[in-house]
Amino acid sequence: MKRLVRTDPLVINKNLGSALISRPEDLTSSNEDGEATVIPSDKVKYDFDRNGWILFPGLLAEDEVEEMRAFATRVQKEPESLPEHERCGMAGPLTRLIDHPVVVGFLNEFLAYPACASEENYGFRLETSQVMHRSAVDDIQRTFNPHNGSGLFRPPWESHYYRQVPGRAWSGLTRVVWELNSVKMRQGGTLLITGSHKAAYPAPASAFEADSPIWDTYECPAGSLLIFSESTSHSASEWTNRDNDRVAVFNLYNTVSTRWSDWLPHQDLLETLGPKRRSLFRDVRTSNNVDGGQFNEVTSAFE
């Protein structure tokens, strides 16, 4: 087997043109539950960078899916049966999804800032967490609404950006979707225009037609994970699968120094979280925004 010659990417650090030498695999190595983070393979990194989205089919065990689906359904259909602070997409058993080992490893690669990451806290933030419920039987739908794209040319402070240097890429706002019911092809999964996170030209007229072949999508079993850059053009689509409703958890992640929305989980919910999970909601800033880490050493030009 031949191997391509690989070198570390040259990423400029804070001071004097020095290199940022921390690697994603050196960042937070386990989640709140002590599970080792899953480092994305070269193929996963290539596919996400190439397409702007990636699917991990069937990550969750069947018993996990059943428990989470039941709770998510209560959030949507019977919110009064839950305490106020649990009426969101990151409460109850859904809490385990916000720092699932695959998610942490992926975001360490594509979103975390090494100087703000340590074994005590994550190098990225959680912007929003919500349950999505759609039904063909009960006519609960979301309208077709294409948006975003061209992340290479979006300013960093606007959050919907995508950046890359040879050997490394960043996805400013990154959407993580957990599908808790099966999704059939072209029957209601999220629509995406593959590669549009790097688009230098405006989208054609066909992008405004939901049934246009320009839109890619997916099928997957319950318990699957979809990750896409918010700078990829995407849209909801009509849920036409009458065998089951769409029950999904939509989590949105951002850098530690940028905020897109004003959402925060209920304070009572925050107090139930362990320290690593609480770090997903710390102050929005960069300087010294790390516990148990070496901010000055990582950002310094000097050994």
More confident residue, 37 or 157: 37
Query: Can you give the pLDDT at residue 195?
Result: 98
Q: Residue type for 261, please?
A: S
Percentage of the chain modeled with pLDDT above 90:
90
Q: Where are the beta strands (DSSP E) in 52-124?
A: 53-56
CA gap 300, 303 in Å, rounded: 8
In whole angstroms, give the CA distance from residue 130 to residue 252. 9
List the end-to-end C-alpha distance of the chain, in Å, as a whole number: 38
- Asked whether the beta carbons of 28 and 21 are under 8 A apart, the reply is no
Q: What pLDDT score does 238 carry?
A: 96
The separation between CA 110 and the C-alpha centre of its own chain, rounded to angstroms, equals 10
214-230 pLDDT tens trace: 999 999 999 999 999 99
Do residues 19 and 165 lie in contact, with contact meaning Cβ atoms separated by under 8 Å? Answer: no
CA-nearest of 121, 107, 102, 150 to 28 is 121
**Complete domains list, the chain, with CATH:** 48-286 (2.60.120.620)
Closest CA to 45 of 175, 192, 193, 229: 229
- Residue 277's H or E segment, with its range, is helix 275-278
| DSSP 8-state class, residue 286 | -
What was the pLDDT predicted at 23? 82
> Alpha-carbon distance 30 to 120, whole Å?
10
Q: Which of 47, 16, 36, 22 lies closest to 229, judged by CA?
A: 47
Average pLDDT over residues 105-131: 97
For strands 234-235 and 168-171, give the pairing.
Answer: unpaired
Q: What is the pLDDT of residue 68?
A: 98
Rounded to an integer, what distance in angstroms lies between the CA atom of residue 66 and that of residue 201? 43
Mean pLDDT of 130-157: 96
Distance (Å, rounded) from C-alpha 275 to C-alpha 91?
16
Q: Does the pLDDT of residue 303 top 80, yes or no? A: no
235-282 per-position pLDDT tens digit: 999 999 999 999 999 999 999 999 999 999 999 999 999 999 999 999
Residue with tokens 């890359």: 164
pLDDT computed for residue 136 by the predictor: 96
Integer Cα distance of 163 and 170 in angstroms? 5
Contacts of 76 (CB under 8 A, 6+ apart): 131, 133, 247
The structure tokens 């065998």 sit at: 243
pLDDT of residue 8: 86
Residue 226, Cβ density class (10 Å: 0-12 exposed, 13-18 middle, ≥19 buried): buried
Asked if 141 contacts 252 with a C-beta cutoff of 8 angstroms, the reply is no
Mind listing the pLDDT tens digit for each residue in 179-211? 999 999 999 999 999 999 999 999 999 999 999
Better-scored residue on pLDDT, 302 or 122: 122
Q: Are 38 and 108 in contact (CB under 8 A)?
A: no
**In 3-state terms, what secondary structure has residue 127?**
strand
pLDDT-derived band of residue 133, with 50, 70 and 90 as boundaries? very high
pLDDT class for 2, splitting at 50, 70, 90? confident
pTM value is 0.96
Name the strands in the sheet holding 53-56, side by side, starting at the edge strand that comes first in the sequence.
53-56, 224-229, 174-179, 246-254, 125-134
